[in-house]
Amino acid sequence: MAKVLMGPQTWLYPMPALLVGSNVAGRANFMTVAWGGIANGDPPMLSLAIRHSRHTLKGIRQNLAFSVNVPGGDMVRETDYCGLESGARADKVEVCGFKVFYGKLENAPLIEQCPLNLGCRVVQILNLGSHALVIGRIEETHVVESCLTDGKPDVTKMRPFLYATTPEGHYRALGEVIARAFSVGKGLKRGKGASPE
């Protein structure tokens, strides 16, 4: 398999499509973030890369609190919009019709319509170059009741979507199950390389 060298690129697959919120000058604002992931297990933390100039980052720095909201597939338009517009110019909450509520952290605005909301407290903000890497401790997790199965959030009900950058920037649904995790590889572990699943 011939490989082509393409230089340093920010290509990783898949990325999430997250609505990150903060209060800026007393108003809730949300931006779209695809560059992020879980950063620690215990205590639970996540990290987000946010361009220094972003309006939402101002609020994160001011309050040392923010939210991560996972939108469902019916919110793709609003999610895209929140990445295109700046809260310095528009009231995105009003434009999108977001219902904002607050949990444990009084300065981390959460979006009612999103099936999953994480309230986060800032642990550290690193300056890595073009972006700030915001590391937050997940203080509380809110899940819409109708998306639970046996007491756990069910991705088939929440219908989160993903962002894939190439060849074109697309939002995609989560696809079919191809294997069970912490399971399908067990055959290899036992040295049963040729055994069926």
For its own copies, the binding residues in 72-101 under the rule CB under 8 A are 73, 76-85, 90, 95-96
Q: Considering only residues 109-168, where is the footprint of its own copies by CB under 8 A?
A: 112-113, 116-118, 123-124, 126, 128-131, 133, 135, 137-146, 148-150, 152-155, 158, 160-164, 166-168
Strand partners, 72: 160
Site size toward its own copies (CB under 8 A) is 114
Residues in contact with its own copies, shown as a per-residue x/- string from 28 to 67 under the rule CB under 8 A: ------xxxxxxxxxxxxxx-x-x----------------
- In terms of Cα–Cα distance, which of 29, 25, 49, 16 is closest to 109? 29
Minimum distance between the CB of residue 117 and its own copies, rounded to whole angstroms? 7
Minimum distance between the CB of residue 25 and its own copies, rounded to whole angstroms? 21
Distance CA 13, CA 49 (A): 16
Q: Considering only residues 157-176, where is the footprint of its own copies by CB under 8 A?
A: 158, 160-164, 166-176
Q: What does 21-41 look like in DSSP terms, one character per residue?
A: EEEETTEEEEEEE-SEEEEET
Does residue 178 interact with its own copies by CB under 8 A? yes
Buried/exposed 10-38: b ≥16 CB within 10 Å, e otherwise:
eeeeebbbbbbbbbbeebbbbbbbbbbee
Q: Which stretch binds its own copies (CB under 8 A): 21-29, 56-64, 71-79?
A: 71-79
Nearer to its own copies, 26 or 129 (CB): 129
Radius of gyration of the chain (CA): 19
Tokens of residue 15, six digits:
């990325």
